[in-house]
Amino acid sequence: MTKHVPFLKPTVVFDLDGTLAETAPDLVATLNVVLAREGLPGIPYEEARDLIGAGARALIERGLRLSAEEVSAARLERMFLEFLEHYAENICERTTLFPGVTEALDGLAARGYGLAVCTNKMEAHSLLLLEKLGISDRFAAICGRDTFPWFKPDPRHLTMTVERAGGDPARCILVGDSRTDVDTARAAGAGAVGVPFGYTDVPMAQLAPDRLVDHYDRLIEAVEELLPLRT
């Protein structure tokens, strides 16, 4: 007798900062508030935007290096906690979804794909931001840096996110904006879709993802090429 194996939806997983949403305005504003409390000058937006992409603590460390300021571990921890508190209170003042995000999510869901978020943003911040942006209910799982013992580029962050979303880790795609996302997808054996408008120290085109989409109106086509609903 053949054992019945339930069909699991293929899953499209998204990074958050620089992928789903332009979060830099509120992140940079919070960074400059924390620096000001330490008597340090703020960093111009265009310069500070390039510092984003590896989490809040790394953003502070990069900001300090740019200011040529060395701090103790205890002082850095205090700044980090202040950052988290201020950011949570001002998380969606100027943050916006990238054009076409909502339509792409709805289109993927209508075609039968499962949706999830895998981000190195703290889970509580991720949930709060996606709620304020009005799209949290579209995702079967929203997993942050602190959700599991591992985080990107460790592939277990992605595979466990897919499992939490009720999907098959062998049939997923990660949509992201940085080397971390591409490396995570490759390590997990997943497809990698890159967007070029986020936060990365290397242009996404140079990272050679499986597909590069410069607008969300091209995402569904890319997903269907890489991850057909049934194989």
What is the C-alpha separation between 199 and 98, in angstroms, rounded? Answer: 13
In the three-class reduction of DSSP (H, G, I as helix; E, B as strand; rest coil), residue 96 is classed as strand
Residues 83-98 have pLDDT tens digits of: 999 999 999 999 999 9
Query: In this structure, which topology does domain 11-22+95-226 adopt according to CATH?
Result: Rossmann fold (3.40.50)
Question: What are the structure tokens assigned to 214, written together?
Answer: 């410069």
Domain 24-89 has CATH 1.10.3720.10: no
Residue among 153, 185, 145 nearest 169 (CA): 185
What does the DSSP 8-state code read for residue 15?
-
Residues 136-177 have pLDDT tens digits of: 999 999 999 999 999 999 999 999 999 999 999 999 999 999
Task: Look up the pTM and report it.
Answer: 0.92
Answer yes or no: 15 catalytic.
yes
Residue 1 confidence (pLDDT) above 50 = no
Residue among 47, 82, 84 nearest 63 (CA): 47
Which of the residues 15, 17, 26, 210 is marked catalytic?
15
Query: Could you state, in order of their start, the residue ranges of all structural domains in the chain?
Result: 11-22+95-226, 24-89
